[in-house]
Amino acid sequence: MSERALEQPARLRVVHDGTAPDLVAAEEAAAAFMTALRIPLDEPDLADTPRRLAHAYAELLAVPEYDFTTFPNAERYDELVLVQDIPVQSVCEHHLLPFRGVAHVGYLPAARIVGLSKLARTVDHFARRPQTQERLTMQIARHLDEKLSPRGVGVVVEAEHTCMTLRGARAHDTRTVTSSMLGHLRDEPAARAEFLSLTNRGSR
């Protein structure tokens, strides 16, 4: 890459290759699902629930597009950049029940830095689809590593899964914590310890 290219802001459009949902078919399927569960759709308060259910899941699973904007690291900043408590909401791919919590995302800059809001948008982009928390955590880290080429990336996700708290084990007030670290944040003990210390300090 030329020096001139490194001096300019860069915008990478991040898109999702999925097609638009078929809301008519989704509403029909929701009605059939509720009927199979013996939920009486002829009651006035429930008559419009299949439509609302279809639209609710379409909204939950709508993957947002965004510009991943980076800037030259003119100051040659080489310490950790960390954004804590980024809201996470997704849907468990095993039961299609929500899980929600926070993500802590950090990186060690190299030639470029990223607009801080883009870290939150990256989290949301990968969360808005049927997910496992483990995969979500790795996808965020790998995306930042690939698109930003930093010296290191660290991601910690803490979330409550309603598939575990509302059904099954009914383990109320439990959190699942996952992490993914790449580059210096994985290989260098001091950098890894600093990142984990700061994310633990930000935990609620």
> Which pLDDT tens digit goes with each residue over 11-62?
899 998 778 899 999 999 999 999 999 999 999 999 999 999 999 999 999 9
pLDDT at 186: 97
Annotated catalytic residue 143: no
Would you say residue 65 lies in a domain?
no
On whether the CB atoms of residues 122 and 108 are closer than 8 A, the answer is no
Residue 8 lies in a domain: yes
Assigned domain for 133 exists: yes
Active site residue 27: no
Across the range 141-151, mean pLDDT stands at 97
**Shared-domain flag, residues 56 and 74:** no
pLDDT of residue 203: 53
Strands 130-131 and 152-161: what pairing?
unpaired
Active site annotation includes 92 = yes
Does 139 participate in catalysis according to the annotation?
no
CATH of residue 85: 3.30.1130.10
Alpha carbon 35 to its chain's center: 33
User: Which residue range is the domain that position 39 belongs to?
Assistant: 23-60
Is 179 contained in some domain?
yes
CB 183 within 8 A of CB 153: yes
Q: Per the residue annotation, which of 89, 163, 188, 194 is the catalytic one? A: 163
Active site annotation includes 133: yes
In a domain, 18, yes or no: no
Instruction: Specify whether 148 is located in the same domain as 194.
Output: yes
Residue 173, pLDDT score? 85
Rounded distance between C-alpha atoms, residue 184 and residue 193, angstroms? 11
On whether both 144 and 165 belong to a single domain, the answer is: yes
Same domain, residue pair 86 and 56: no
Residue 150 to residue 107: CA distance in whole angstroms: 7
| Residue 154 Rama label (left phi>0; alpha psi -120 to 50; beta) | beta
Q: Which member of 55, 84, 89, 95 is catalytic?
A: 95
84 is catalytic: no
Give yes or no for residue 2 having a pLDDT over 70. no
- Catalytic site residue 160? no
The pLDDT of residue 201 is: 64
Instruction: Write out pLDDT tens, residues 153-195.
Output: 999 999 999 999 999 888 888 999 999 999 999 999 999 999 9
In whole numbers, what is the pLDDT of the chain averaged over residues? 93
Task: Count structural domains, the chain.
Answer: 2
For residues 151 and 81, membership in a common domain is answered with yes
Select which of 104, 125, 143, 161 is catalytic: 161
Tell whether the model's pLDDT for residue 6 goes beyond 60: no
